[in-house]
Amino acid sequence: MADTKVSDLSSASDATTSDYFYIIDGGTSKKITFDNLQKSIKFSANFKLYFDVAADVYITYNSTSGDLEFYKGGVLVASL
């Protein structure tokens, strides 16, 4: 197996959380699980999703804190 090119390996159709990915970090070969890879990806876009424009009811995503924020009348009422 040590002499097999990554491009010559058979393909997997689905990744499970315990599957490993091969990475090169600063010239050092390492592995990372799919679960840890998913956790390391950060969503950096902010958005505002209106449910009732007239009542000013909406949800925002705060990329700094990673929280979903719920507003009513422009006032923060909950945060997850």
Residue 18: per-residue pLDDT: 92
Domain ranges of the chain: 47-79
Greatest alpha-carbon span in the chain: 64
pLDDT in tens, the chain (80 residues): 568 887 888 888 888 889 988 888 898 989 999 988 888 877 666 777 888 878 888 888 887 788 889 998 889 898 88
Q: Are 79 and 70 in contact (CB under 8 A)?
A: yes
Residue 15: per-residue pLDDT: 83
